[in-house]
Chain A
Amino acid sequence: MPKNCFEKVWQSHEVKKLWNGQSQLQIGLHLIHEVTSPQAFGMIRDRGLSVACPERTFATIDHIIPTKNLQLGYEDAMAEEMVKSLEQNCKEYNIKYFGPKSGSQGIVHVIGPELGLTQPGMTVACGDSHTSTHGAFGSIAFGIGTSQVRDVLASQTLALSKPKVRLIDIQGQLGKGVYAKDLILHIIAKLGVNGGIGYAYEYAGASIEALSMEERMTICNMSIEGGARVGYISPDQKTYEYIRGRPYAPKEADWARALEYWNSTATESSASFDDEVHFAASEIEPTVTWGINPGQSSGINGQVPELKDLEGSAKASLEEALSYMKLSPGQNLRGTKIEVAFIGSCTNGRLSDLQEVASQLDNHKVAAGIKALIVPGSMEVKRQAEALGLHEKFLEAGFEWREPGCSMCLAMNPDKLIGDQLCASSSNRNFKGRQGSSTGRTMLMSPLMVAAAAIKGEVADAREVFSL
């Protein structure tokens, strides 16, 4: 029977059935960072255990790293202790560490693919929910908690319940000025923030095939915002071309063997799924969130929903969102005044995101009073952007150009909103307090829409601002 990619990779990595019915799944790549691993190392030490496969474990720092003046140190004793703890653990257990001195530091979900570590047909785990990003390569990638980081460190396996698989088929092509970010926000709005619980999402269809690998990563990255722990795209020629020649990519004779394996893991035509949904790319507009979860969004020409048609918990939830966001029912999204603009994150901090923005900035300036920052996803993204002169365009237009890290996506470093500032953000979560202030407000959108908002000082249609 024809199988989908998920089914194949799960089967080939299942070590055994556990007594409670879960599967013990072998993990091919374990990525660790400073926030969710120190406690896990503590746990293995307490139990007298060691790291089972240090050669399949890779570390970086991203969540707490400051994005300016790193040479001045962390100015935060706890942050520094976390970094030291990670460095020491890597040394003690012989784990490869991509710190700032390596020249390869960056957001864990940016550097995994960039270094060629993330490959098709592989299982990936990381103590971060956006690990689903790696699914763009046809790998099956799980965001895990710290006790599970411990499990992978100690055993190179995880205890998991097998999810069902839902095919998300998107036909047609995205319009001009409409990006992968808009597509995934649209999918989440339609299927709900809890629609994916118990499912892995396979994204497919003409629209997905046409996306670049970086755009595919944006899609898979936000699977978890739709409740799906795993999101992936079956590998194709584009996947292989992206990987070829990267530092950890298979080389020479290994390359041919790898291609054979990768091809064998692809979803077969007429493979069956537990569920299927279909979307038309042409219906999707530049999309903006107005609420406090990523499913609360609308096209740029839309309005904040009306309360009058709702009742019960739906009404209560809308009221809560609008009261937090200080928006009114029926209000147009266009024209909502912003104070901060943030371009970056594991969702939209890659080179193509920055190129797209830079290509439109000529003769535009960030509006007076708007704090606008661009944070590259990795040191490699920063180097490439600077080699192309993108940073000069950003600086010329009035954006700050920072060092790589997670930055204002979750504000564990000094980049934070102040008070109830409203931020147009290319990141992935608009939860209450997400960007570092307990009253701070976030509207999620594509990088180019963030740039348009920065220039206008308010939410605007990038297609008009930049005459696309």
Chain B
Amino acid sequence: MNTAQKLPTGQIEHISGQALCLPGDDIDTDRIIPARFLKCITFSGLGQYAFYDERYDKAGQPLAHPLNDRPQASIIVAGANFGCGSSREHAPQALLYHGIRGILALSFAEIFAGNCNTLGIACLSLSFPDQQAIFAALTSNPAELIEIDIAAGTVTLGELQLQASIPQSMQGALLAGSWDPLQELLEAKDLVLEKGQTLPYWRSFQHN
């Protein structure tokens, strides 16, 4: 586990680091963080619980698991529909505090990818052959460094240079350092008030 978390800030142009492989499709957010660890009122302690039920046995002893075997890795390589299920932001937060900064997968569940984006975790999609090529490369050299170039959408490791894809809105937000949208949303305060006037139901609820 990475110590003294340096969380993402500002413009994110490159992500580089060791990677860990989580093969298989449809890895859901209950697996990323089991529900019993959602009992918290801040996120910062969640890193230790990422994939907890797969990483530890019933007695709390560590098992062989990519997150245990490569604790320094900052990039996940995964299958299709990664992060499906619950909208719990605890899942990307647990990965973030574990030290994950980028995820390469065949595809992402929508709410999960949106949550990652807001935290500055880059989510890029890979083709199946490219995912297989990365798995193969990491099998022969697990410590190989991966370099993700957000502007070019490329993934480089050793001899391999692959093209990944990232939605334009996420790419732009990472590069500009505006992946947390709140400031921009707040700037439209007057427009929000005006919009309320145009919605027939806007003034409907009165507290009983």
Contacts and interface: CB of A to CB of B under 8 A. Distances in A.
Contact of A197 (B35, B38, B40, B81): B81
B208 interface: yes
A317 B26 contact: yes
A22 B114 CA distance: 12
Nearest to B182: A151
Interface residues of B, number: 69
Contacts of A127: 87, 89
A123 to B, nearest CB: 9
Contacts of B186: 49, 154-155
B170 to A, nearest CB: 8
Contacts of A260: 200
A63 B87 CA distance: 13
B115 to A, nearest CB: 4
B181 A18 contact: yes
A147 B201 contact: no
Contacts of A261: 200-201
Interface string A123-147: 0000111010000000000011111
Contact of A293 (B28, B42, B87): B28
Interface string A34-63: 011011001000010100100110000001
B201 A258 contact: yes
A411 B36 contact: yes
Given A436-B36, A438-B53, A15 B172 contact: no
B109 A197 contact: yes
Interface in A192-226: 193-194, 197-198, 224-225
Contacts of A258: 200-201, 204
B52 to A, nearest CB: 8
Interface stretch (B3-11, B141-149, B151-159, B190-198): B190-198
A363 interface: no
Interface string B11-47: 0000000000001111010110011101111110000
Interface string B84-111: 1111111011000000000000011111
Contacts of B181: 18, 22, 151, 159
B127 to A, nearest CB: 14
B80 interface: yes
Contacts of B88: 35-36, 145
B115 A145 contact: yes
Interface string A294-326: 000000000000000000010011001000000
Given A431-B30, A432-B53, A433-B30, A76 B41 contact: no
A52 B110 CA distance: 26
Nearest to A18: B184
B137 interface: no
A55 B28 CA distance: 34
A77 to B, nearest CB: 9
A39 B182 CA distance: 15
Contacts of A12: 198-199
B205 A55 contact: yes
A352 interface: no
A15 B188 contact: yes
Given A145-B88, A145-B111, A38 B201 contact: no
B118 A145 contact: yes
A145 B178 contact: no
B89 A22 contact: no
A439 B84 CA distance: 19
Contacts of A79: 39
A425 to B, nearest CB: 14
A122 B200 CA distance: 10
A238 interface: no
A313 B191 CA distance: 49
Interface string A417-457: 00000000000010111101010000000000000000000
Interface in A74-97: 76, 78-79, 81-82, 85, 96
A313 B25 contact: yes
Contacts of B43: 39, 146
A247 interface: yes
Nearest to A428: B85
Contact of A147 (B30, B180, B207): B180
B167 A78 contact: no
Contacts of A436: 35-36
A150 interface: yes
Contact of B41 (A82, A225, A316): A82
Contacts of B23: 313, 316
B185 interface: yes
A21 interface: yes
Given A56-B205, A161-B167, A313-B25, 6 more contacts: A21-B169, A35-B38, A39-B41, A145-B111, A151-B185, A258-B200
30 contacts: A19-B178, A20-B170, A20-B176, A21-B172, A26-B199, A49-B186, A79-B39, A82-B39, A128-B86, A129-B85, A129-B111, A145-B88, A145-B114, A146-B89, A146-B93, A147-B115, A147-B119, A154-B182, A194-B81, A194-B109, A197-B107, A224-B85, A224-B111, A227-B84, A258-B204, A260-B200, A293-B84, A410-B30, A438-B34, A438-B58
